[in-house]
Amino acid sequence: MTCRPCSEPCYGTIYTAKQRNPDPERPLVVEVNASDIGVGAVLSLHTGERGALRPIAYFSRKLSPAEQNYDIGDQELLSMKLAVKEWRHWLEGAQQTFTMYTDHKNLEYLQTTKRLNA
């Protein structure tokens, strides 16, 4: 791969963030996000070093035309569902619970909001 000099520090950081298998005794973190065209997620492991996280796996997928019509809250929920499905084998086997982060504020009210069935 040929890199321009100004981008070499960035590539070096990405290349040194080595992925590793999760330690079942350490808590896992799933971070998800959605945009108009796709969803993505990162599965990370708490390293125990002042809250530092170590990436374990990445996931992304382009949204179908129908999924692109979802409102942003539903797209964020879809990204959560897909991430859990992708890493189910690690999340179910973990001895600790996992934490999931999303940047969509409306999802805080998901459990208390009543859905209209009309």
Question: What's residue 117's pLDDT?
Answer: 61
How is residue 17 written in tokens?
């963030």
Asked whether residue 19 carries a pLDDT value surpassing 70, the answer given is: no
Q: Which residues neighbour 71 within 8 Å (Cβ) at sequence distance 6 or greater?
A: none
Domain ranges of the chain: 19-105
Query: What residues does 60 pair with on adjacent strands?
Result: 40
**Dihedral Cα 18, 30, 53, 95, nearest 10 deg:** -100
pTM: 0.73
Question: What's residue 58's pLDDT?
Answer: 96
Question: What's residue 47's pLDDT?
Answer: 82
19-105: which CATH topology? Ubiquitin-like (UB roll) (3.10.20)
